[in-house]
Chains A and B, each alone.
Chain A
Amino acid sequence: MIDFLDAIRFDMIWNYKELFIRGLWITLSLTAVGYVGGIILGLFLGIGKLSKIKWIYYPAKYYVDFFRGTPLLVQILLIHLAVIPSIFGHSLGYFVSGATALMLNCAAYNAEIIRAGIQSIEKGQMEAARSLGMPQGEAMRFIILPQAFRRMIPPLGNELIALLKDSSLVTVIAANDLLYAGKVVAGAYARFWEPYITVAILYLLLTWVFTKVIAYVERRYSNSYIPSQRRRIFTFGRASAGG
């Protein structure tokens, strides 16, 4: 054991620090693009899955079934090696393929979260809005979604963390993400502990930060609709010290 610890050489990670920093940046960018795109597309799919119109409902349903029912790894390879080259005649690079695959996949999961969130709002809210003469779309936008969004925050937060970790799969199309940096170092030195532990720790750090941010957003929005009571969260320390 002592020998083993002595033999650990983190200097080789340090030598490749730029690769890891670049990897972190790529991983974060892929996650950000995939997540934001996934929420926007997921919103349409989620609402589509609530539609009574068949030619809206079924495409949304089959889309979600396909992307939730097949491995993300397969989707990444399909998009990078088959779909994009077929449409554009050549590859558009790992970033476009990777971000597209993550976005399409994330959208399917978000669609279910958004659908469930919308369905969880009492029927009376939609009825009240419609009884005032609001068209369906306006009622959705101004009455239902602002309420549903709060209930979607926890599951959407989980989705963000899952996506961050799943983004490591883009390594298979030679994207310079965080895991890829580890692979390069492992290949260069033929050593596996240091690079992969480093990668794991960096992912852990990222998910830890994300968890904190999500918890903050959750506290901010799921407490109360009353702004003054929402603010109380921030002044809690001071208020309790004063009282």
Chain B
Amino acid sequence: MIKIQGLHKSFGKLEVLRGIDCEISEKEVVCVIGPSGSGKSTFLRCINLLEEVTKGSVYIDGVKINSKDTDINEIRKEVGMVFQQFNLFPHMNVLDNITIAPKRIRKMHEVEANDLAYQLLEKVGLRDKASAYPEQLSGGQMQRVAIARALAMKPKVMLFDEPTSALDPEMVKEVLDVMKQLAKEGMTMVVVTHEMGFAREMGDRVLFMDEGVIMEEGTPSEVFGQPKSVRTQDFLSKVL
């Protein structure tokens, strides 16, 4: 479903991604782990072109997205993203946060969009918060709304950029539970995370990134159980 070939990304002279090849198939949950500064987030942001790709190709459903002929807005409709800082729209209530994109972009009718929003809020356990504003919510609630907002576009794949890193510890679980449920329903997910427990439990595959390359990849039991590279062993010994 997603195919990445020879992906390079530089910010000025700083080379953040140095050649990444990766394939992600439908319904797969891929967790990306690694030390900070290893390029995990940049890698994720290249998949929906929030970062311009310096070299290499990214294909989604066979369409090369970093090509001049591709309408990136069409691609992004199918690729949901959840950010570390939630990035809810503070001037809109929860319902409007969720419905604005379906209404404006998918041209969905108001009633239909609201129905969908309530369904999604039910799913993330926040149906009673529809008319609340983001500043009235806790971090965990905001992130669950952000997930609902991304899901409202009915994307084929969801990207999570350290979704629990900005949360107080007691709120991590409520967000992870929503993500687990989503994974069980068969959503294709790419998750950049420091939550090793989640990666181990839910990941179909784990990618360990370091210094802009994928150092090691495999099933969670392979990567966590018998890490091959010294780098991976070193990293895991520090975080586990």
Interface residues of A (CB under 8 A from B): 122, 124-125, 127-135, 138, 142-143, 146-147, 224-226
Interface residues of B (CB under 8 A from A): 48, 50, 73-74, 76-77, 79-81, 83, 85, 87-91, 100-101, 104-105, 133-136, 146, 149-150, 153
Cβ of B89 and Cβ of A226 under 8 Å apart? no
Cβ of B83 and Cβ of A128 under 8 Å apart? yes
Residue numbers in B under 8 Å from A224 (CB-CB): 135
Residue numbers in A under 8 Å from B134 (CB-CB): 225
Cβ of A133 and Cβ of B87 under 8 Å apart? no
In the complex the two chains form, what is the Cα distance from A127 to B104 in whole Å?
16
Cβ of B104 and Cβ of A138 under 8 Å apart? yes
Q: Which of B73, B87, B91, B105 contacts A128 (CB 8 A)?
A: B87
A1 CB to closest chain B CB (Å) equals 58
Residue numbers in B under 8 Å from A128 (CB-CB): 81, 83, 87-89, 146
A239 CB to closest chain B CB (Å) equals 19
Residue numbers in B under 8 Å from A143 (CB-CB): 89
A to B CB contacts below 8 Å, 27 in the list: A124-B83, A124-B87, A125-B89, A127-B50, A128-B83, A128-B88, A131-B48, A131-B79, A132-B76, A132-B77, A132-B101, A132-B149, A132-B150, A133-B76, A133-B101, A133-B105, A134-B73, A134-B105, A135-B73, A142-B104, A143-B89, A147-B90, A147-B91, A224-B135, A225-B90, A225-B133, A226-B136
A188 CB to closest chain B CB (Å) equals 55
Residue numbers in B under 8 Å from A133 (CB-CB): 73-74, 76-77, 101, 105, 153
Given A131-B50, A132-B77, A225-B90, 4 more A-B residue pairs with CB atoms under 8 Å apart are A122-B85, A132-B105, A133-B77, A225-B91
Cβ of B87 and Cβ of A125 under 8 Å apart? yes
Residue numbers in B under 8 Å from A131 (CB-CB): 48, 50, 76, 79-81, 150
In the complex the two chains form, what is the Cα distance from A142 to B50 in whole Å?
19
A85 CB to closest chain B CB (Å) equals 47
In the complex the two chains form, what is the Cα distance from A150 to B135 in whole Å?
16
B181 CB to closest chain A CB (Å) equals 21
Residue numbers in A under 8 Å from B135 (CB-CB): 224-226
In the complex the two chains form, what is the Cα distance from A134 to B91 in whole Å?
17
A205 CB to closest chain B CB (Å) equals 35
Most B-side CB within 10 Å, residue of A143, A147, A224, A226? A226
A151 CB to closest chain B CB (Å) equals 12
Residue numbers in B under 8 Å from A225 (CB-CB): 90-91, 133-135
**Nearest 8 A/B pairs, CB to CB:** A128-B87, A133-B77, A132-B101, A124-B87, A131-B81, A133-B76, A226-B133, A133-B105
In the complex the two chains form, what is the Cα distance from A134 to B101 in whole Å?
7
Residue numbers in B under 8 Å from A129 (CB-CB): 89
Cβ of A127 and Cβ of B76 under 8 Å apart? no
In the complex the two chains form, what is the Cα distance from A135 to B71 in whole Å?
10
Most A-side CB within 10 Å, residue of B76, B91, B100, B135? B91
In the complex the two chains form, what is the Cα distance from A146 to B90 in whole Å?
10
B78 CB to closest chain A CB (Å) equals 8
Most B-side CB within 10 Å, residue of A125, A128, A135, A142? A128
Cβ of B153 and Cβ of A146 under 8 Å apart? no
Q: Which of B85, B91, B136, B153 contacts A124 (CB 8 A)?
A: B85
